[in-house]
């Protein structure tokens, strides 16, 4: 398997090189040259443990790591999860919940970032190299990335996040990690500012190469590869031996999680369709209903990991939608960069595979409350957005699976307010109160971030 850039300016790379490259040198995102059709393997995969299934699936994309080594690394990545199923499925009678928050930082990002941290370590050790990982987070990516690389030799991590715009606990999960190789950068701006600066820094190829920068955001293909696994795992568990397909509802900010589901669908997973659920930051839901992609102001909500206007993984979807044509993709992205708006040639609903809607704060709180009252299940605000959207949109009779992307204890103020009593807690988070913290506040200025990296890179 070889990998190419969505913008067409990169020579094909193998998997290990893609992991280290992160963002393509031409500013594009990296994609496999083709998506494998795995339908002939589904009967064999049905019922496999998550980690075993992951090794079978990922081997289609990884041909420069042996199957045995890959399987060992995947199993190692999930040893710290607190549920034997890794991503257990909860049956709430009316719908299912796929719980993705059983990793060390209690968020779905752990599924990919524990694996990516081990990948980095393996590849760097084999090549005798070091790396400075740069990431931007709207909440959960930062702590999960830190947990994946903290203390690992040959690695340092720099995480930018919008100062005061993550939840209190999300920030503590980052800033209480005091390992020498961890640097938390609180940026006076929005997540979109953080993400724009990250891309600008990566596009400075001289700086990127000098300081050996690596990407931990979902621009890194390995993140998506790990996330594809749980779509196969859940759909094969619920497809009644191949007799039916499953609908997934996905709370969506940066488009990485739902794009992993889209890739699984294209590969042959038994998926009927995907429900794209946004909060008031509805640029993606508007696009999938109208074909118009238009930037708006960032709204700060109780689901902060979704408070995003420019979704980085959207470029990968467009690349496939435009027939893997780099020139068409570049025209679209140029229009958007220039005008803050771009559209597909045919306006209206964009994709039969994806239906989309926006869920506001009032409905999110109501969904947290009703889900607790009806099913005795506690959902965090992001999960509640997915539940509300999934139940609003018809599923054509297929089982509905809502992705639970974070443990409710990460958002106690909103969850306890909605339910009317203190129910959102976790001993792992309780221990953070009063712990020593370390962070650096910086302006939303690329040169300031570069200067910090220069001073602290390994």
> Mean pLDDT of successive 10-residue segments in the chain (458 residues)?
97 96 92 98 98 98 96 97 98 96 96 95 95 90 93 95 90 96 97 92 94 90 97 98 97 94 98 97 95 92 89 94 96 95 87 96 98 98 98 86 97 97 96 95 98 97
Burial call 309-323: b when 16+ CB within 10 Å, e when fewer: bbbbbbbbbbbbbbe
Q: Which residues contact 375 (CB under 8 A, 6 or more apart)?
A: 92, 93, 94
Residue with tokens 């506690």: 378
pLDDT, position 16 = 97
pLDDT, position 167 = 85
Q: Locate the DSSP E strands across 86-198.
A: 89-91, 96-99, 131-136, 155-162, 182-188
Q: What's the start-to-end Cα distance of the chain, in Å?
A: 32
CA–CA separation, 341 and 364 (whole Å): 28
From residue 262, how far is each of 10, 242, 313 by CA, in Å? 24, 19, 12
| pLDDT tens by residue, 162-187 | 999 888 898 999 999 999 999 999 99
Q: Which residues contact 121 (CB under 8 A, 6 or more apart)?
A: 149, 152, 153, 154, 155
CA-based nearest residue to 170, from 154, 151, 184: 184
CA-based nearest residue to 404, from 428, 374, 380: 380
Active site residue 109: yes
Total number of residues shown for the chain = 458
pLDDT, position 304 = 85
| pLDDT tens by residue, 7-41 | 999 999 999 999 999 889 999 999 999 999 999 99
pLDDT, position 328 = 96
CB burial class (10 A; 0-12, 13-18, 19+) of residue 108?
buried
Tokens of 4: 């190419």
pTM confidence score: 0.94
Which domains occur in the chain, in start order?
89-105+222-426 (3.40.50.1100)
Assess contact for 258 and 317: CB atoms under 8 A.
no
Task: Name the catalytic one among 109, 199, 330, 410.
Answer: 109
């Amino acid at each position: 398997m070889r990998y190419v850039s969505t913008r067409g300016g990169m020579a094909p790379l193998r998997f290990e090189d893609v992991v280290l490259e992160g963002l393509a040198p031409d500013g594009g995102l990296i994609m496999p040259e083709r998506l494998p059709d795995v339908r002939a393997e589904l009967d064999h995969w049905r019922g496999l443990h998550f980690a075993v299934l992951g090794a079978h699936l990922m081997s289609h994309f990884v041909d420069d790591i042996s199957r045995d080594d890959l399987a060992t690394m995947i199993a190692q990545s999930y040893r710290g999860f607190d549920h034997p199923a890794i991503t257990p499925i909860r049956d709430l009678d009316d719908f299912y919940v796929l719980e993705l928050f059983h990793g060390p930082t209690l968020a779905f990002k752990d599924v990919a970032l524990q694996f990516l941290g081990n990948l980095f370590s393996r590849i760097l050790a084999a090549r005798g190299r070091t790396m400075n990982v740069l990431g931007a987070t709207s909440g959960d990516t930062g702590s999960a990335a830190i947990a994946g690389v903290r203390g690992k030799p040959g690695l340092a991590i720099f995480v930018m996040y919008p100062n005061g715009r993550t939840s209190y606990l999300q920030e503590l999960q980052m800033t209480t990690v005091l390992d020498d190789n961890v640097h938390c950068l609180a940026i006076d701006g929005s997540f979109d500012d953080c993400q724009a600066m990250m891309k600008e820094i990566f596009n400075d190829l001289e700086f990127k190469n000098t300081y050996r920068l690596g990407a931990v955001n979902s621009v890194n293909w390995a993140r998506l590869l790990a996330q594809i696994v749980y779509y196969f795992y859940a759909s094969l568990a619920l497809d009644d031996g191949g007799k039916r397909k499953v609908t997934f509802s996905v709370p969506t900010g940066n488009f990485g999680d739902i794009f992993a589901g889209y890739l699984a669908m294209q590969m042959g997973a038994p998926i009927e369709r995907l429900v794209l659920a946004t909060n008031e930051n509805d640029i993606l839901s508007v696009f999938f209903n109208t074909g118009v992609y238009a930037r708006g102001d960032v709204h700060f909500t109780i689901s902060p990991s979704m408070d995003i206007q420019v979704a980085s993984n959207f470029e990968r979807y467009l690349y496939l939608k435009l027939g893997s044509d780099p020139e068409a993709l570049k025209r679209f992205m140029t229009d958007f960069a220039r005008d803050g708006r771009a559209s597909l040639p045919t306006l209206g609903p964009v994709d039969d595979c994806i239906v989309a809607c926006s869920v506001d704060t009032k409905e999110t709180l109501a969904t947290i409350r009703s889900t607790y009252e009806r099913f005795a299940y506690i959902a965090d605000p992001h999960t509640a957005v997915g539940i509300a959207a999934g139940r609003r949109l018809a599923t054509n009779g297929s089982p509905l699976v809502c992705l639970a992307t974070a443990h409710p204890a990460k958002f106690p103020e909103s969850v306890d307010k909605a339910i009317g009593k203190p129910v959102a807690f976790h001993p792992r988070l309780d221990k953070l109160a009063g712990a020593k913290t370390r962070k650096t506040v910086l302006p939303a200025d690329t040169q300031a971030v570069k200067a910090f990296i220069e001073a602290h890179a390994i």
